[in-house]
Amino acid sequence: MKVGDKIKIDFAGKKKDAVVHKVHPNTIYLKVDFKRDKGKIVKRKLNQVQPGKNKKSAKK
């Protein structure tokens, strides 16, 4: 996952479109457009966005 990639995330039971803003080893910052707050930066753990790809399974 790189900066600028477009992904879908779950937010309050709905799918939202998001753009990757920053990527850290365990955390990802996403830019999401909400009804009253356009361009909001949302912080998520990397394993919440990519549940199948965690460090332990990558080592095996």
Q: What is the pLDDT of residue 60?
A: 46
Q: What is the pLDDT of residue 42?
A: 94
Can you give the residue ranges of every domain in the chain? 6-52
10-residue stretch averages of pLDDT, the chain, 60 residues long: 90 90 94 93 89 56
Give which of 15, 9, 17, 16 is closest to 44, Cα–Cα: 9
Q: Which helix (H) or strand (E) holds 46?
A: helix 46-49
Look up the pTM and report it: 0.76
Q: What is the pLDDT of residue 55?
A: 57
